[in-house]
Amino acid sequence: MVRISLDVDGDHVSDEVEPRMLLVQYLREKLGKTGTVVGCDTSNCGACTVHLDGRSVKSCNVLAVQADGHEVTTIEGLADGDELHPVQEAFRECHGLQCGFCTPGMIMQAIDVLNEHPQPTEEEVRLGLEGNLCRCTGYHNIVKSVLYAAEHSGSTAGAGGAQ
């Protein structure tokens, strides 16, 4: 067992974990943060995407011990109370989700894309989300949501979630 301490969604946590435990398992099983989900076992689907020090990572591809000393933001840490993050708001506004299983990862990745391209083109959004699979929406409204977020909140859409 290895001791780790990190910030998750603004809370400081300190814990003993097995060295092989994945960050996504740590979040879901030890912290009960089940907003982040697992959709594959090959790091292909992006459902598990969270932010590590403000950059998106696939949390099934990171060991919990690697997060030691770092800041993690999950979908559950995005909204400020009842105040949704602009990208969350955009997904609701543009019907950017159906079953919602890919959505937490998609939103976290979208924020990353917007951090990089505050006023992205459709092409940049499509390329930026390429690592996140969605089976329901055909991506049409997801792309629209990200463009909407960029348009309606300027550059804050991205930075707002980085904490």
Partner 1 sequence: MTATQDRPTAEIGRDRRRKEDQRLITGRTRWTDNIALPGMLHLAMVRSPFAHATITGIDTEAAAGAPDVVAVVTGRDLADVQGSIPTAWNITTDQKSPPHPAMAVDRVAFAGEVVAAVVARSAAAARDAAELVDVDYDEHPAVLDLKKAADDSTLAHPDLGTNKSAFWQFDSAGAGTGGSIDEAIEQARSGGILIEREYRQQRLIPAFMEPRSFVCDPNGEQLVLWSATQIPHITRFFLAAVLGIPESKIRVIAPDVGGGFGGKLQFVPEEIITVLVARRTGKPCKYTETRSESLMAAHHGRDQWQRLTLAADSEGTVTGLKVDLLCDLGAYAGTVGGGVPILGAFMYNAIYKFPAYQFNCTNYYTNKTLTDAYRGAGRPEATFAIERLMDELAAEVGVDPLEIRERNWIGHEEFPFSTVAGLEYDSGNYEAATAKAKESFGYDELRAEQRQRRESGDRVQLGIGISTFTEMCGLAPSRVLGALNYGAGGWEHAQVRMGGTGKVEVVTGASAHGQGHETAFSQIVADRLGVPFEDVEVLHGDTQISTKGYDTYGSRSLVVGGEALVRAADKVIEKAKPIAAHLLEASADDIEFESGRFSVRGTDQGMGLAEIATAVFAAHNLPDGIEPNLDSEATFDPVSFSYPHGTHLCAMEVDTETGEVRMRKYTCVDDIGNIINPLIVAGQVHGGLVQGIAQALWEEAVHDEAGTLVSGSFVDYLLPTSADTISFDIDHTTSPSTTNTLGTKGVGEAGTIASTPAVVNAVVDAVRHLGVTDVQMPCTPERVWRAIHADGAGGSTEGAAMPHFDDAEPGRDSTEGAGA
Distance CA 144, CA 59 (A): 26
For residue 47, state whether it binds ligand FES (rule: CB under 6 A).
Answer: yes
For residue 116, state whether it binds partner 1 (rule: CB under 8 A).
Answer: no
- Kind of pairing between the strands at 2-8 and 71-73: parallel
Q: Which is nearer to ligand FES, 17 or 134 (CB)?
A: 134
For residue 46, state whether it binds ligand FES (rule: CB under 6 A).
Answer: yes
Distance CA 59, CA 63 (A): 8
In 10 A of CB 41, how many CB atoms? 8
- Kind of pairing between the strands at 49-52 and 2-8: unpaired
Phi-psi group of 7: left, alpha or beta (phi > 0 → left; psi -120 to 50 → alpha; rest → beta): beta
Structure token pair of residue 56 = 């998106």
Stretch that binds ligand FES, among 39-47, 64-72, 75-83, 113-121 (CB under 6 A): 39-47
Stretch that binds partner 1, among 37-45, 51-59, 62-70, 151-159 (CB under 8 A): 37-45
In 10 A of CB 79, how many CB atoms? 13
In the list partner 1, ligand FES, none, the entry touching 60 (Cβ below 5 to 8 angstroms by class) is ligand FES
Which residues contribute to the site for partner 1 (CB under 8 A)? Answer: 25, 28, 32-42, 44-45, 47, 74-76, 78-79, 84, 88, 91-93, 95, 97-104, 107, 122, 125-127, 129-144
Point out which residues bind ligand FES (CB under 6 A): 38-40, 43-48, 58, 60, 97-103, 134-137
